[in-house]
Structure 1
């Protein structure tokens, strides 16, 4: 079976894909790479490539999707198939970049929990009965990773390149998946990726925002399983 490599979103780790890892690992070799240790998307992609099998299925959510697209740019022959979840192929807009500097300064000053609680996590999820528990898990993941990772990831995202040409050149089986209520990476970003990828399926998960892997794990896993089996 083709190994599956998961890449988590900003200030998340393998727990973001916990339900999918549990469901898929009986059949597939599964890896999840932390996005730590450097402050460029290019450097993070090289780290993942160095630690991954020669050929693999690649799935990234949010920042993980941005790194996945850079992996595809650097080594397209190693990516057997691609899944992009709640992510964005475009370079960062100037107004978003401008918000990152005060967040970086706050995190460096010991205010990481406040930044995550007040400025970032409230935008992640759709309303639902598990919202509180998922937000608590997101906070635990963020605090476990710590302020240095927050700073590195913020800088990497701010300097990222446009990957539209990368997606246009890829012909492997692809899944573009989003939570229906994702306000961070809205529908137009996903229809753009779907249109650029010549062999892609677009899946919209109802009752989910930016983190469908946790908000609607069964529907998300079903979409990923179909992607792996086709």
Structure 2
């Protein structure tokens, strides 16, 4: 991949640019851009922020988790703006019905003003206490959660719960698509990503000994994988 092209990064739910900081230090790219999805109140604002960052494309568009959904959505609507779509910890087939139902219940909970820090059991689904680089990763997740808060979580969850199945569209898209998944990811399991990659005609890259928050767990490795994708 050309390191002279523009690289546009989108974060996941309740994440900000801190998700990428340690990776950016390892990367040799001249034009790096960040989409502050935490600023958006709805899906239309997320699309607008992404469009602004992709100006003067085509770009390499990189989205993590929820940011992967926004990145894929934008790329399919604006294929001339994208040279390479890289989706980390995101399944372009969409969310399972059970997860959609759970998220809708959670939205009602947040709408009633009941935002509380993530339970340790929920955090363990993203990064376990015994995972690689666990202490730093868990603290960073907690810090971003505390700083961004309930209003951002509500806006992001409400905007991105109904996710289309993009596999068929990606299979015929004119840009290159790469999926990157973690071996021990419990949010976007690698087996599901492998199935979707086959449907999309996409390359699948596995990050070993890592969980859903693998950009924080293994930034040096992921930076290298991105530059080689």
Assess if the C-alpha contact under 8 Å between 1:8 and 1:64 holds in 2. Answer: yes
1:224 corresponds to which residue? 226
Assess if the C-alpha contact under 8 Å between 2:181 and 2:206 holds in 1. Answer: yes
Assess if the C-alpha contact under 8 Å between 2:168 and 2:200 holds in 1. Answer: no
Which moves more between the two structures, 97-106 or 133-142?
Answer: 97-106
2:23 corresponds to which residue? 20
Give unmatched runs, 5+ long, in structure 2: none
Q: Secondary structure in 2 aligned to 1:112?
A: coil
- Shift of residue 43, structure 1, vs aligned partner: 4.4
1:67 corresponds to which residue? 70
Q: Secondary structure in 2 aligned to 1:31?
A: strand
Match of 1:76 among 74, 79, 98: 79
Q: In the TM superposition, what whole-angstrom CA distance separates every residue of 1:102-160 from its partner, at most 9, and x where no partner exists? A: 4334445554343x234642211253352122111111112211211111111122222
Q: For 1:153 and 1:119, locate their aligned partners in 2 and report how far apart those are by CA, in whole Å.
A: 21
Give unmatched runs, 5+ long, in structure 1: none
Assess if the C-alpha contact under 8 Å between 1:3 and 1:53 holds in 2. Answer: no
Q: In the TM superposition, what whole-angstrom CA distance separates every residue of 1:68-108 from its partner, at most 9, and x where no partner exists? A: 11011210110111111110112333321222244334445
Assess if the C-alpha contact under 8 Å between 2:95 and 2:163 holds in 1. Answer: yes
Which moves more between the two structures, 126-135 or 160-169?
Answer: 126-135
For normalisation by structure 2, the TM-score amounts to: 0.87
- Shift of residue 31, structure 1, vs aligned partner: 1.3
2:37 corresponds to which residue? 35
For normalisation by structure 1, the TM-score amounts to: 0.87
